[in-house]
Amino acid sequence: MEIEFWWLLALPLFFALGWMAARIDIRHVMKESRSLPRSYLNGLNFLLNEQPDKAIDAFIEAVRIDPDTVELHFALGSLFRRRGETERAIRMHQHLVDREDLSEAQRLQALAELGQDYLKAGLLDRAEAVFLRLRKTPLDDVALRDLLEIYQQEKDWPKAIDVAKALPDHESVWWRKEMANFHCELASDALADSRLDEAEAIIETALAVNPRSVRGSLLKGDLAARRGHLDDAVAAWKRIESQDALYLSLAAERLMKAYDKMGRVADGLELLRAYLERHPSLDLLDVAFDWTLKQAGSLSAYDLVREELRRNPSVLGLDKMLEAALVAAPTELRPDIELVRQLVHSHTRRVARYRCNSCGFKARQFYWRCPACGGWETTPPRRTEEYDLVP
Coil, strand, or helix at residue 112?
helix
Q: Which element (helix H / strand E) includes 363?
A: strand 362-363
DSSP-assigned states of every residue in 251-283: HHHHHHHHHHHTT-HHHHHHHHHHHHHHS--HH
Q: Is 373 annotated as a binding residue?
A: yes
DSSP β-bridge partners for residue 354: 363, 383
Q: What are phi and psi of 279, to 5 degrees?
A: -135, 80
Give CA separation, 52 vs 19, 59, 69, 235, 339, in Å: 40, 10, 20, 58, 52
Q: Which residues, in sequence order, are CB contacts of 82 under 8 Å at separation 6+?
A: 52
Is 184 known as a binding-site position? no
As beta bridge partners, residue 295 has none
Pairwise CA distance, residues 341 & 318, whole Å? 9
| CB-based contacts of 28, cutoff 8 Å, min separation 6 | none
Is 359 annotated to bind a ligand? Reply is yes
Residue 376 phi/psi, 5-degree rounding, is: -90, 130
How many Å separate Cα 141 from the centre of its chain?
20
One-letter amino acid of 105: A
- The neighbouring-strand residues paired with 369 are 376
Cα 64 to Cα 42, 55, 56, 271, 326: the distances in Å are 14, 14, 12, 73, 74
Determine the 3-state secondary structure of 376 from DSSP.
Answer: strand
Separate counts of helices (H) and strands (E) for the chain: 21, 2
* Burial state string for 318-357 with b = 16 or more CB within 10 A and e = fewer than 16: bbbbbbbbbeebeeeeeeebeeebeebbeebeebbbbbbe
Mark the binding-site residues, compressed into ranges.
356, 359, 370, 373
Mark the binding-site residues for Fe cation, compressed into ranges.
356, 359, 370, 373
